[in-house]
Amino acid sequence: MLAGFAASPVVATGVGVFPSKARAQASAAGLLTPNVCMVLPEVTEGPYYVDERLLRADITEGREGVPLRLQMQVVTADCRPVPEARVDIWHCDAQGNYSGYARQGSDGTNDTSGETFLRGTQISDENGLVSFDTMYPGWYRGRTTHIHYKVFLDESTVLTSQIFFPDALSQYLYLAVPPYNDRSAERDTMNGNDGIAQQAGEGAFAAIREQQARYDAALVVGIDPQGGGPERATQRPSRGGASEVFIPGRDG
């Protein structure tokens, strides 16, 4: 359990929504999570991308928040890992601010120009894996909790998408844990009424597991090496998205 926090409602049970057959198939294919190998849909990049090419695993730069280790596995539609893929991620801090931009926050007075917190790049290994040490993202009006990412092969973008998280876990952290709960504004968008999360589909929801000092998040990212993903998903998240918490090979 995270030191100093009560057990969170989503990840304390250690069980997930995927059946044992799906887990066995994922394990046989060497997948990080029991996702089906499918090309993920493209969704909007958003207004806050900066191509800093900050090759680093720890992207926090001292920003306060609940520690999160994000693992992503880049694969093709037939479950083959994709080595040497460049993966960029970026997301907001606990107060909903992105680095590198002015006029943020509910009153437009927050200026983070020249800062690079919560941005980073990794290159996938022979198993298609990348790993980032970051913090659980905060929120801002009009959007549910998310992390942005882009996947590149040979300097060409093959996928731009976003990662989503269980509403129950996000709400618990935002109401009970500082610095997330040090805000006067009320969260107005959940997974079920976020159009981008709906477009991304169930395959865009991270598998979450609680460790002693952090949360682990994992996502299998299916790409088409010849181009971007399909325009929209064939499945949409129900009841605010999947609350999957099981990560094969993890026992603590």
Tell me which residue has tokens 């990212």: 221
Tell me the chain's radius of gyration from C-alpha atoms. 17
- Please report which confidence band the pLDDT of residue 24 belongs to, taking 50, 70 and 90 as the band edges: low
194 pLDDT tier (thresholds 50, 70, 90):
very high
Q: Report domain extents, the chain.
A: 20-222
pLDDT averaged over every residue in the chain: 81
Q: Which CATH architecture has domain 20-222?
A: Sandwich (2.60)
Per-residue model confidence as pLDDT tens digits over 219-247: 999 999 887 544 433 333 333 333 333 32
Using CA atoms, how far apart are residues 215 and 120, in angstroms rounded to an integer? 19
Residue type, 207: A
The pLDDT of residue 157 is: 87
Judged against a pLDDT cut of 70, whether residue 33 lies above it is answered with yes
Rounded to whole angstroms, the Cα distance separating 63 from 60 reads 5
Instruction: List, for residues 118-146, the tens digit of each pLDDT value.
Output: 999 999 999 999 999 999 999 999 999 99
Nearest-angstrom CA–CA distance, 191 and 127: 30
pTM of the full structure: 0.81
> Do residues 130 and 122 lie in contact, with contact meaning Cβ atoms separated by under 8 Å?
yes
